[in-house]
Amino acid sequence: MNNLLLQEELRPTRADAVKNRELLLKTARQLFAEQGVEHVSMSAIADAAGVGKGTLYRHFTDKADLCHALLDHEQRELQERTLIRLSEGGDPVEALCWFLVEVAQFVEDNGSLLCEGMGQMEAMGLGHPAHLWWRQTIRALLVQTGRPMDVDYTADMLYVMLDVHVAYFQRKVMGYGSTQIINGLLNTVMRLLA
């Protein structure tokens, strides 16, 4: 192996690079919240952060990449909350309902970021590892209920109901509000487990 390559790989990230990355993420999050993801350009993010476009593109190849970085933080927080909640034990039906509400809220809060990422790659779709974790969690909780059912199919059905495309359809085409979507999801769970 070439020692220069090894040295390059082991080199720590410079403090100013870390600071710039965090500034860019914070700026993008703020601009996206104010104007909507679809209305904010990469140039606007660099300008608002007070950095050059080269600095921005060294950290993020495009807006989808930037959205992925923002989503990664949110997804990690969801995973941490879930691990804490599930480690407490308790009724698996209550835990399943709690988890479904958490994920539905995640999709609602991050819908624009999820859609931006999907525009250029499948990474934000149902096959993405972070999202497959949702399905695995749903499946594990269904197993814990001990109810007779086709666990895999039931997990898939609930999982698909959390997809950003379904949420978009329910909100924009059908005109459902957050409460109606969440209540519908929970009512579906209760009927499936009755």
How high does pLDDT run on average in the chain? Answer: 85
Q: Are both 22 and 118 inside the same structural domain?
A: no
The pair of three-digit structure tokens given for residue 172, joined into one six-digit string: 């924009």
30 with 71, same domain? no
| Residue 104 and residue 187 in one domain | yes
What CATH number is given to the structural domain containing 123? 1.10.357
Domain span including residue 148: 64-192
Tens digit of pLDDT for each residue in 146-171?
999 999 999 999 999 998 888 889 98
- Under a CB-based contact definition with an 8 Å cutoff, are residues 53 and 62 in contact? no
pTM: 0.76
Higher pLDDT, 189 or 16: 189
Residue 28: which CATH number? 1.10.10.60
Which string of b and e fits 136-167 if b means at least 16 CB within 10 Å?
Answer: ebbbbbbeebeeeeebeebbeebbebbbbeeb
- Amino acid in the structure at residue 8: E
Question: In terms of domains, do 88 and 156 share one?
Answer: yes
User: DSSP letters along 29-65, please?
Assistant: HHHHHHH-GGG--HHHHHHHHT--HHHHHHH-SSHHH
Residues 90-128 pLDDT 10s: 999 999 999 999 999 998 888 777 776 555 444 446 666
141: Cβ contacts below 8 Å, ≥ 6 apart: 92, 95, 96, 99
Coil, helix or strand at residue 73: helix
**For residue 30, with 0-12 CB atoms within 10 Å meaning exposed, 13-18 middle and 19 or more buried, which class applies?**
middle
